[in-house]
């Protein structure tokens, strides 16, 4: 009776005759192409065998398998879409991070870069003796880094101090004369006002 219920749902049963207890004669009223859930059950010239109950069930089973396969494919598509959306969010976060990094790089005070390219080492204490004592010129009215480099030509280090003093040497005793905060070398050179020439008992040390 399973098939009778199926065909009753499609409105295809035209006449039903029960000849015996186990024998049923069924007359179906419908087109040769019977639509089932968007597919066609065709009984055309290419089908040699008649459209029996067994053939109909076989086609329905095949259709169900295709529908299940389609559902599985759509599930995978949904999962890929979810992964893509998550990846897009991550890429957006990375792009925003790079933009912030680019901004931070632009905000760097490039005077430090300038100091590195000119051989700047740092600000050092210079009291109780002289860190660079090989040669000195204490009163250079037009002191600049270039001027002190010319005075200390042939030496390894130079020190700018107290606006107009230039010291030269080949060794640095950083135990006796330790490095101090940059803020303590706060006196501009007598000629090169944009450059700090040490401070009181403080050397701005450079490589010659």
For 30-57, the pLDDT digits (tens) are 445 455 444 444 444 444 556 677 777 7
Answer yes or no: do 122 and 188 share one domain: yes
pTM of the prediction? 0.46
Would you say residue 5 has pLDDT above 70? no
Task: Count other Cβ atoms within 10 Å, centred on residue 7.
Answer: 18
Burial (CB < 10 A; 0-12, 13-18, 19+), residue 147, is: buried
pLDDT range class, residue 118, cuts 50, 70, 90: confident
Q: Do the beta carbons of residue 116 and residue 202 sit within 8 Å?
A: no
Among 68, 101, 126, which residue terminates a domain? 68
pLDDT tens for each residue of 148-198: 999 999 999 999 999 999 999 999 999 999 999 999 999 999 999 999 999
The Cα-based distances of 112 to 109, 118, 206, 207 in angstroms read 7, 10, 13, 15
User: Tell me, what's the pLDDT at 56?
Assistant: 77
- Give the position of tokens 């009291």: 127
Would you say residue 145 has pLDDT above 50? yes
Span 79-86, mean pLDDT?
77
Domain count, the chain: 2
Answer yes or no: do 128 and 59 share one domain: no
User: Tell me, what's the pLDDT at 104?
Assistant: 60
- Residues 7, 168: Cα–Cα separation, whole Å: 109
Min mean pLDDT across 85-99, 132-146, 155-169 is at: 85-99
Answer yes or no: do 62 and 125 share one domain: no
Q: Which domain holds residue 179?
A: 118-207
Task: Determine, yes or no, domain membership for 75.
Answer: no
């Amino acid at each position: 009776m399973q098939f009778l219920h199926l065909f009753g749902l499609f409105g295809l049963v035209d006449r039903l005759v029960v000849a015996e207890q186990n024998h049923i004669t069924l007359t179906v009223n419908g087109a040769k192409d019977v639509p089932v859930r968007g597919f066609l059950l065709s009984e055309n010239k290419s089908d040699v065998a008649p459209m029996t109950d067994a053939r109909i069930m076989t086609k329905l089973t095949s259709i169900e398998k295709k529908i299940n396969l389609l559902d599985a494919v759509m599930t995978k598509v949904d999962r890929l879409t979810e992964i893509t959306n998550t990846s897009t969010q991550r890429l957006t976060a990375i792009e925003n991070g790079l933009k912030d990094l680019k901004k931070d790089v632009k905000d760097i005070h490039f005077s430090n870069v300038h100091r590195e390219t000119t051989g700047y080492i740092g600000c050092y204490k210079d009291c109780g003796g002289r860190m660079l004592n090989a040669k000195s010129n204490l009163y250079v009215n037009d002191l600049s880094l270039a001027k002190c480099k010319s005075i200390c030509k042939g030496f390894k280090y130079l020190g700018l101090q107290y606006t107009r003093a230039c010291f030269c040497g080949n060794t640095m005793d950083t135990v006796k004369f330790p490095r101090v905060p940059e803020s303590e070398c706060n006196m501009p050179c007598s000629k090169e006002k944009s450059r700090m020439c040490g401070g009181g008992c403080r050397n701005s040390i450079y490589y010659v």
